[in-house]
Amino acid sequence: MSLLGRAKGWLEKRRSTHSDRVTRAAASPSIARVSYNEDHVPLELLEDTSPARAMTFPCDEFLEAAGIKDEFYNLCANAGLTRLVTCRVTQYQKLTSSFINSFRYNPDSGAIEFKIYNDLITMTLGKFCEIIGVPNVGRTARMTTQPSELKTVFNSLCSMDTRDIHRSKISSILFPHLRYFAYYVARGVLAHDNTSNTSAPDIAILAAALSGRSDYNLGALIARRLAMNGNKGDLYDGVYATLILEHLGGTPHPDDNPFTYLSFDLAAMKRHKFVTMTSELDNLVYILRFGTTAEREIRLPAPLLFDFSRRNGWSFDVIQFDEFMAQHQFHHPMEGVVPDEEEHGELPPFQEETATEFGEGSSSVWRTDPSSWETPRSSVYAPASFYDPWTHHCSPGAGGSWGQ
């Protein structure tokens, strides 16, 4: 029988007995130690059955061109992701495969177990958080299937019909720095294969980034996701494996090939239909989605439109967008009026926003009459002749196709 056939047969036998349990070594008082467990899949089988893939980092060049770099890194800081987002470590194929396919997390004891190549390591959740650089605070218990407060958070960022949280699309988020952050969380933190839909853990991290509160333990959210990722197709958890290898003083095996560095650069954001397929770094055309049918485009940066402190929330509907663009159709968004310092103030605390259950959040406080949009306090610069590249209607699906 071929190696691949033996691997599939072995996995079929083991799948029904999979659980979150860890080995007897987890009961040891030591923080991190080598243990042994014959239940783990042999490494040579894992490489054929579950190919490893690289996690994705943000692209500073794209962030700067879009005018959202500071906002993005502020979100990372609020969520406790600064170490992860800035480490930019090299990821390795065999290291990633051995790590994720052997990862186990016991939420009752807080014990974590995984393989670094052929060594099986156990450590506490606190030590795991310390190594990867995330805060070890907040609830560690498994969250309910559809927490109503997380539904409210996500719906407050979109202009869409209320849907089940597991069907919510990242592409529905309106503000570009929030949408870019959501893509990074999906592939660069929780290591999803699917970066189209959001999940409750994704939104919990997004809520922490907006509020600065750690209601859910970030390390536990990551550990649960890693425990789910093994033996489920392409694997994207190499950053954590490398950080732990470095902490333990190890080095990559000489025959372990490094992954190509991946980032959410212009090409990647075109595949995600974040910008149109014809966009360039000096001409980024951002795609906004309103519900399931309406789309609009605007060139980035557009600080006058995406200014939370001058709007009453993170969302607006298509009528309000069209109204805003009609008011500024002759003007470059970058030429917008900057409010006086005393009027601008700081962003309102997240917890003080109006919020009710199942999506009636801050987006619902918009009025539909024209006065819901502020009129600039003074004129904006208008070019000598008519030129309006900043907005035009487009048919759904414009801007390229989804990439993997």
Tens-place pLDDT, residues 78-115: 999 999 999 999 999 999 999 998 999 999 999 999 99
**Looking at residue 167, what is its pLDDT?**
62
Is the pTM higher than 0.85? The answer reads: no
**Looking at residue 222, what is its pLDDT?**
95
Do 201 and 189 contact (CB within 8 A), yes or no? no
Q: pLDDT-based confidence at 363, cuts 50/70/90?
A: very low
**Looking at residue 365, what is its pLDDT?**
33
**Looking at residue 195, what is its pLDDT?**
73
Do 388 and 329 contact (CB within 8 A), yes or no? yes
Distance in angstroms (rounded) separating the CA atoms of residues 320 and 189: 34
Least confident range from 217-226, 228-237, 316-325, 382-391: namely: 382-391
Task: Give percent of the chain with pLDDT exceeding 90.
Answer: 49
Q: At what angle do helices 218-229 and 200-211 cross, to 10 degrees?
A: 160
| Cα–Cα–Cα angle for 220, 230, 227, rounded to 5 degrees | 20
The larger pLDDT score, comparing residue 400 to residue 12, is at 12
Distance in angstroms (rounded) separating the CA atoms of residues 100 and 128: 14
Query: Would you say residue 10 has pLDDT above 80?
Result: no
Task: Give percent of the chain with pLDDT exceeding 70.
Answer: 65
Query: Would you say residue 310 has pLDDT above 90?
Result: no
The most confident of the ranges 53-67, 220-234, 302-316, 370-384 is 53-67
